[in-house]
Chains A and B, each alone.
Chain A
Amino acid sequence: MTAENPKQDIHEYLAELEDIPGTRVFTAQRARKGYHMNQFCQSLMKEENRQEFRKDERAYMDKWDMTEAQKQALLDRDYNRAIDEGGNVYFLSKLFFTDGKSFLQAVGTMTGMSPEDYQAMMVGGGRSPDGVRSIREGK
């Protein structure tokens, strides 16, 4: 029943994932780097942990085996840096929501646009894929 699907070479597959402008695909390499940071984020699904975190963010984060760069990115709410340190947006979203921020508000901070401009772009139909499909091919 299964239609033929040629198996992709894993090295080519992974190389292509790095060819998208402004995008970090959550590969094994990033998942390994960000393991403790993502587990920290997931701990914020419990109200008692959110309260403890809000009381002293640094002290709560020090309980987790994160690098200083990871902790600082989170303290700064610099989500592009957090993703560069191995964070994944769905894990980071537990921190967005702990802060009372929506996906729209938090995601917009990663674009360099003001919240108003980002919202206006979305209402206007979103960002076009033209020019941001491939770094290599510049299209």
Chain B
Amino acid sequence: MARITAGVATSHVPALGATIDHGKTHEPYWEKIFSGYEWTREWEKGEKPDVVVLVYNDHASAFDMNIIPTFAIGCAERYKSADEGWGPRPVPDVIGHADLAWHIAQSCILDEFDMTIINQMDVDHGLTVPLSMMFGQPEAWPVKVVPLAVNVVTYPPPTGNRCYALGEAIARAVASYPEDLNVQIWGTGGMSHQLQGPRAGLINKAWDTRFLDDLTADPQRLRHIPHIEYLRETGSEGIEMVMWLIMRGALGANVKELHRHYHVPASNTAIGHIVLEPTA
């Protein structure tokens, strides 16, 4: 049977992708960020996951204002890197796992999560930057990916509680997939940042740190944080952290923290990265 063996969370700032693509990760400003991912890169070489369920948000790339799905699952065979205005990132195509994706979609719908099924889309920095952070610049990505796009752009996004519960449903779906697969779930975006208005540049290290702590210590608190708290405390784009709760919900009641990295800033954003392993 397929099983979820680990959860990984990371910010997905577009400048990180540009830094990798332009070979600048060793510049002092960026090195402070990338050094915190070296542990995970080594760890992933040993873990060799078959598939990553990659929770991210589309940034007005695949979905414009005509279609705004709350939870969209990619069921395609492959995905191309989106042109976000400066040409597509020079990264390999993302290879899907259509069979597992359809299985998760069907299972979640029967489990009363009304997923939107996507058979064709390009993927933007929200999905490709996390892959680059964990795997660098390979000829081909070493994992298949099930993209799970969450609306955190047009209000209201899903509640943290709903995200957490979707994670639980994804775990049930994966556990009922007959093939023996090592599956990881990644939650991306965050941490504190605000990309608009006179309040842009907001960072809240204390809040972010407590959030990271409670992924292990008190995830039940996290699922009930209201949207307004994310907005007030972590900036308007800090709302992306609800996506980390899908990852956390999929890992079961208890987890062990294997690795953590936190740094301010990358561009306008607080970088957060954590690796969690489910425990009995």
Binding site for B on A (CB under 8 A): 1-3, 5, 8, 13, 16-17, 20-28, 31, 35, 38-39, 41-42, 44-47, 50, 79-80, 83, 88-91, 93-98, 100, 102-104, 107-108, 110-112, 118, 121-123, 125-129, 132-134
The 4 closest A-B pairs by CB, nearest first: A126-B203, A97-B85, A22-B199, A22-B198
Quote the shortest CB–CB distance from B206 to chain A (angstroms): 9
Whether A47 lies near B197 (C-beta < 8 A) is no
Report which of A17, A94, A103, A123 forms a contact with B195, defined as CB distance below 8 A: A103
- Contacts of B210-239 to chain A: CB distance below 8 A: 220, 223-224, 226-228, 231-237
Interface presence of B259 (CB below 8 A):
no
A-contacting 9-mer, from B47-55, B56-64, B127-135, B175-183? B56-64
Report which of A20, A25, A102, A133 forms a contact with B267, defined as CB distance below 8 A: A102
Quote the shortest CB–CB distance from A64 to chain B (angstroms): 12
Quote the shortest CB–CB distance from B48 to chain A (angstroms): 30
Whether B83 lies near A46 (C-beta < 8 A) is yes
Give chain B residues whose Cβ lies under 8 Å from the Cβ of A125: 203, 205, 264-265
Quote the shortest CB–CB distance from A105 to chain B (angstroms): 9
Chain B, Cβ-Cβ closest to A91: B60
Whether B202 lies near A35 (C-beta < 8 A) is no
A-contacting 9-mer, from B102-110, B142-150, B152-160? B152-160
Interface presence of B192 (CB below 8 A):
yes
Whether B199 lies near A26 (C-beta < 8 A) is no
Whether A127 lies near B202 (C-beta < 8 A) is yes
Interface presence of B201 (CB below 8 A):
yes
Name B's interface SS.
Answer: loop
Give chain A residues whose Cβ lies under 8 Å from the Cβ of B277: none
Cα A23 to Cα B267 with chains together (Å): 19
Give chain B residues whose Cβ lies under 8 Å from the Cβ of A91: 60, 64-65
Cα A132 to Cα B198 with chains together (Å): 10
Interface presence of B165 (CB below 8 A):
yes
Chain A, Cβ-Cβ closest to B238: A129
Cα A25 to Cα B236 with chains together (Å): 7
Quote the shortest CB–CB distance from B29 to chain A (angstroms): 8
Whether B155 lies near A38 (C-beta < 8 A) is no
Which of A3, A27, A112 has the most CB atoms of chain B within a 10 A radius of its CB? Answer: A3
Whether B232 lies near A20 (C-beta < 8 A) is yes
Interface presence of B200 (CB below 8 A):
yes
Which of B60, B82, B153 has the most CB atoms of chain A within a 10 A radius of its CB? Answer: B60
Interface presence of B161 (CB below 8 A):
yes
Cα A90 to Cα B60 with chains together (Å): 6
Give chain A residues whose Cβ lies under 8 Å from the Cβ of B82: 45
Given the interface pairs A100-B86, A110-B196, the reply to whether A118 lies near B201 with Cβ below 8 Å is yes
Interface presence of B268 (CB below 8 A):
yes
Given the interface pairs A20-B199, A103-B268, A122-B201, the reply to whether A25 lies near B155 with Cβ below 8 Å is yes
Give chain A residues whose Cβ lies under 8 Å from the Cβ of B169: 1
Give chain A residues whose Cβ lies under 8 Å from the Cβ of B192: 126
Given the interface pairs A1-B168, A5-B159, A23-B236, the reply to whether A45 lies near B61 with Cβ below 8 Å is yes
Quote the shortest CB–CB distance from B153 to chain A (angstroms): 6
Whether B199 lies near A97 (C-beta < 8 A) is no
Whether B154 lies near A31 (C-beta < 8 A) is yes
Interface presence of B15 (CB below 8 A):
yes
Report which of A90, A98, A123, A129 forms a contact with B204, defined as CB distance below 8 A: A129
Interface presence of B84 (CB below 8 A):
yes
Report which of A5, A47, A88, A100 forms a contact with B224, defined as CB distance below 8 A: A5
